[in-house]
Structure 1
C-alpha cells in the first residue's frame, strides 16, 4: 500500500505548561550550542525548573500515549491517511487486541495533527435511454435490509487511465444488508455487456437470490434484455427518479469512498496499476474495511455470519445529524420531498 505524505508537527504528550519551551531549549542547546542560562532568561523560566524537567521521570500515562502515538502514525501511513478517529480506533483495537476509546484516539490524532481525507465529488457517467421503459422507485430510499440478498443496488463508475486518453468502467452490485460488493466487472466500454456480466457473476455466487434490484436510469438497466434477465431470476426492479442521485445514495456513496481511499492506498501510474488497485481495493473493502455500524466487522464477516443463521442480526442505519439537517431544510422548501435518505 502507498504511504501517506505530508509534514506532521512534533507531537507533545506532556501536560507541563512549559513543555514547548523546555523542548526548544534542549534542542537549541544540543544542536546550536546556545546558552541555557540565556535562553531561560529570554523565555522567562528558571534554570532550576528546566533542569528539574530534564531529569524528570516520564509518567507512565505519557509513555503510553507516546507508544499509542507511534501506533496511530503507523496506521495512518499504512492506510494512506484514510482513517478518521473512529475507524482508526476500530482498526487498532481489532488488529492490536486493544480496547481504546474513541476519545483517546481522537486526542492522540489531534496532538499528532493527522486526520482522514475528504471525499471527492464523483463525475457521473450515467447515460439514459429515453426509448426504454423505466421502473418505479420501489426502494424509495429505504436502504436498510434485514438479511443478505434482500436488496441490491448497482451503478457504473468511470476511471481515467493515467498517461492515456483511455478509460475504464467498473460495474458493481452492492448488498444493502452488509454493504458488501456482491459482484463486479471491469471493461473498457460502458455498455450492456458490462452490466450483464456483473449480473451473471452475482447470480452465479448467489443462485437462489431474488432481491429487490435498484439502480439509476442508465441505458443498461432499462434495456429489455436486462429486464428479461431480472424476470427470469424472479427479481423485482426499482429505479431512481429523474435527476435524483440520492435515490441511489449507497452506490453513489461507494464510488466516493472508492475513489478517495483507493488513490491514497495504492500507487496508480498506468493502466496495469489502476486495474490492480481496483482489484486490491475491492478485496480490502469487502474483507478488511471494518465498520462501526457492523460492530467493527467487515462486510464479508457480517455476510457470512448472517448466512449461517435463520434470523440474521439487524443493523439499523445510525442517525446522521448532517442528513437529518438536510432533510429538515428540504422539508421546509418542499414538503413532498420528505423521504428516508438513510
Structure 2
C-alpha cells in the first residue's frame, strides 16, 4: 500500500510539473499551465514509463482533463503515426524516380511515371505535398545567354508574325516552329542544334547537329522536314521562327516557298512568340548531360537518344498524358 501511494505521488507530481510558462493576460502577473494536448502527452508518457494499467481515469482526473478527450487524442496520434509511415513509404518510391531522373522532374512527371508502376497512382496533390515535405524540388533550368549572331544585312527581309502565338493547334502538320540552340561540351567545344517542332503534337520532326552556324545547318533541317512530310503538305502549312540571320536569308526564304510553306517570324527581341520551341530546348538542356560528351560523335548519340525518348516515351501532361507520337495518332483518329 505504501509503494502504491508512492507511485501515485510520483505520478501526480509528474502530471503537475510545469512545462511552459505562459502569461495569463494580466500585466505584471505570470501563471504556469499546460495545454490539453500537453497534458495528454504527459499522461501517455507516464503510463508508458511506469507501465501503469487501469489508471487512465485517475491520471486524467489529476491533470483535470476528460478521459474521452485523452482517448480521442490518442486515436488521432495513432492515425498521424500511420500517415507518417505511409508518407515515408510513398517518399521512398518518389525518391527512386527522382534519383533516376537526376532531380529533373516535377509533380506532373512523377504522376505520369507512377501511372506505369501503380494500379492506382498517387493523386497529384499528394505528390505536391510529399515533394514539399521531403524537399524533392525539381532542378529549375536557368536561362543561358545566346550568342549574338551576325546582324542581318539590308538584303535580308523580315517576315510579319503571321502565327501570332496561336500555339493551340489540333491538326498535325499545320504549324511548325524552328530555331537553333548551342551546346557546349567537353573541352570548351561548341555544337549547334537546329530543330523543327510540330505545334499540334509537340513532336520534333526534324533536327540537325552541326559544328558550324553556316547556312547549311538550316538547309539540312528543311531537307529533313521535307522527308518527314513525304508529300503530305497541309494546305495552310506554316513555319515560324525568330528573326535570326538564317531565317531572314533570301535563299532560306526561297526554299520555304518552294516547299509550299508560309513563313512567319517572331517580333524582334520577343522570345515568347516562339515559346514552345524555347521550352523544348530548355527541357533538352535539363534532361541531357550534353556537357559531359567527350566528342561530337558522343554528343550526336545523346541527341538521337533523347529525340527518340522525347517523341516516343516521354509523356506530357498537356497531351492528355500521352507521348507526342501517341498524341499524333490520337489527333488523326479523332
Give the TM-score, by structure 2 length.
Answer: 0.71
Is 1:227 matched with 2:249?
Answer: no
Quote the Cα distance in structure 2 between the aligned partners of 1:153 and 1:143: 10
How far off is 1:172 after superposition? 0.3
Match runs of 1:213-224 below 5 Å: 213-224=239-250
1:105 aligns with 127
Change (3 A) 1:89 1:158: same
Question: Which shifted more, 127-136 or 194-203?
Answer: 127-136
Larger radius of gyration: 2
Q: How big is the alpha-carbon RMSD for the aligned residues of Structure 1 and Structure 2?
A: 2.8
Change (3 A) 1:75 1:225: same
How far off is 1:111 after superposition? 2.5
Is 1:294 matched with 2:303?
Answer: no
2:285 aligns with 259
Contact in 2 for aligned 1:290/1:298 (Cα 8 Å): yes
2:63 aligns with none
Structure having greater relative contact order (Cα 8 Å, sep ≥ 6): 1
SS of 1:96's equivalent?
A: coil
Quote the Cα distance in structure 2 between the aligned partners of 1:50 and 1:206: 77
Unaligned runs of 5+ in 2: 1-40, 52-73
1:182 aligns with 205
Match runs of 1:132-281 below 5 Å: 132-164=156-188, 166-207=189-230, 208-210=232-234, 211-263=237-289, 268-271=292-295, 272-281=297-306
Contact in 1 for aligned 2:185/2:291 (Cα 8 Å): no
How far off is 1:187 after superposition? 0.3
- The number of aligned residues is 262
How far off is 1:182 after superposition? 1.0
Change (3 A) 1:47 1:236: same
The Cα offsets for residues 127-170 of structure 1, whole Å up to 9 and x where unpaired, read as 34232112111011111112101100100000112123x21000
Give the TM-score, by structure 1 length.
Answer: 0.69
Contact in 2 for aligned 1:85/1:115 (Cα 8 Å): no
**Which of 328, 331, 334 is the aligned partner of 1:303?**
328
Quote the Cα distance in structure 1 between the aligned partners of 2:116 and 2:184: 35
